[in-house]
Homo-oligomer: A and B are copies of this chain.
Amino acid sequence: MDIRVQKIFEGLFALEDLREIYRQALPSGLDQEEETRFTEKIASIREILGDLEAGTGHPKVTRIAETIELRTREENLINIQPIQAAGRLTPEARKAVISYGDGYSTCDACRKPFRLDKICKPPIATFHEDLAAFVGMDQARVVPGARRGFQAVTSTIVNRGDSVLVSGLSHYTEYLAVENAGGIIREIPVNEQNVLKADAAADKIEQIKQETGAYPVLAMIDHYDYLLANEHDFAGIAKVAHQYDIPILYNGAYTVGVMPVDGKKLGADFVVGSGHKSMASPAPSGVLATTDEWADKVFRTTQMVGDLTKRKFGIKEVEMLGCTLMGVTLVAMMASFPTVKERTLHWDEELKKSNYFIDHLLKIEGSKVVSEYPRKHTLTKVDTTGSFDKVAQTHKRRGFFLSDELSKRSIGGEFAGATKTWKLNTFGLSWKKIHYLTDAFTEIAEKYEINILNEEKKR
């Protein structure tokens, strides 16, 4: 690790120790003992700062609470991990995390009617409005992860034995949300290009009706899937679903927060997004948005009355279980939001970088892309069976030779040991990082005498 990165962490931690002195002190000020500790701590921070500037010194803090190693992946590596790329925090979110880490930190100014999305300071209420508009829907709530958004919808709509349409490339959390509600998953086949089309959805709906006597009660469709990040015809499928009066959920775990999403225009009844996957937010966080029509159902308020006390709980929402993200997860989402909004406007540039890298990977002879190509997403499944895996066959480290080579070049997040099919994500990498990454793969190929094609190679 670069000693400077180490010293940045030591500086941050030392300032937290200083902060703790104030947390323990009386409001009237530090006593003499506290003042002494304060002065000592300042001196140690100056020392850290000296090391930081000079790039000298040795690591003094390597673990948190004795057992947890510092996590410096984003500082020390170019991280191409498939699901981490768009969830890394913005600097503003990291500041929010520092300021709002404490448990119920959003609840200082919670007033009647006592619900998270009504709080004005910090501006949570406004954020909810902005969030709904951002995904082109009428109302939004924050949820602890996209999966909890799926759950709220299946729990509202799906009864035991009901069929729910998903894609053959759907994420497991959709299966679990349906299972949890007692429903039955019915998969729409993708076509030969691994893309989901509207006609296949129509056929499946008819087939389900024939087999079970009933239409599916819900469709949950990923605009881009988790496996290949291919683009699927959500709008077309929505049109078909609506012809059968089937409400449709837009799974935007891989879109909301990275590219523009207009839920209503796409025909969505529900839009679900993931904070920690695509909105530069800490886990677990996410968004569930819907239309005014469906809001009354999925955001229905409690009707329960205590049989004895006759207590009622006002406007608490059943599927949300009241409040959802009462602290740091929400405030960090809010802090990242301006940057996240802005970055969706530059999705075309992200695609250029994605394709630049993939184009060059394909020049390494024997390499293929499993995802659709040219890429319409920054997440890509590649197949290096014909290139790097050939090296792995005879290398004493087997598939780990590639991880070793990447690691030497400070690239991380590949699936360690995988040299056949594997996924990577270039989201958020600057052009200079893209060039570095591209060169690294080319260099590794050259080192192991894999031929580099000069011609533009087609899949």
Contacts and interface: CB of A to CB of B under 8 A. Distances in A.
Contacts of A334: 65, 67-68
Interface in A409-451: 409-411, 413, 430, 432-433, 436
Contacts of A70: 99
B98 A306 contact: no
Interface of A: 2, 4-5, 8-9, 11-13, 15-20, 22-24, 26-29, 39, 42, 45-46, 49, 52-53, 64-78, 81, 83-84, 86-89, 91-108, 121-123, 126, 144-145, 147-148, 150-151, 155, 168, 172-173, 175-180, 184-189, 275-277, 280-284, 302-304, 306-309, 311, 313, 316, 318-319, 321-322, 324-329, 331-332, 334-339, 409-411, 413, 430, 432-433, 436
Contact of A318 (B19, B68, B180, B327): B180
Contacts of A68: 96, 99-100, 122-123, 331, 334-335
A322 B98 contact: no
Contacts of A436: 26-28
This protein's copies in its complex? 2
B304 A122 contact: no
A92 to B, nearest CB: 4
Contacts of A277: 103-104
- Give the interface centre of A81, A185, A189, A430 by most chain B CB atoms within 10 Å: A185
Contacts of A184: 307
A318 B179 contact: yes
Nearest to A166: B306
Contact of A144 (B11, B148, B413): B148
5 A-B pairs with least C-beta separation: A87-B103, A27-B410, A283-B327, A103-B276, A144-B144
Nearest to A53: B42
Given A26-B433, A97-B98, 5 more contacts: A65-B96, A66-B338, A103-B283, A176-B313, A176-B322
A98 B16 contact: yes
A96 to B, nearest CB: 5
Given A17-B91, A101-B332, A104-B84, A176 B24 contact: no
A47 B361 CA distance: 47
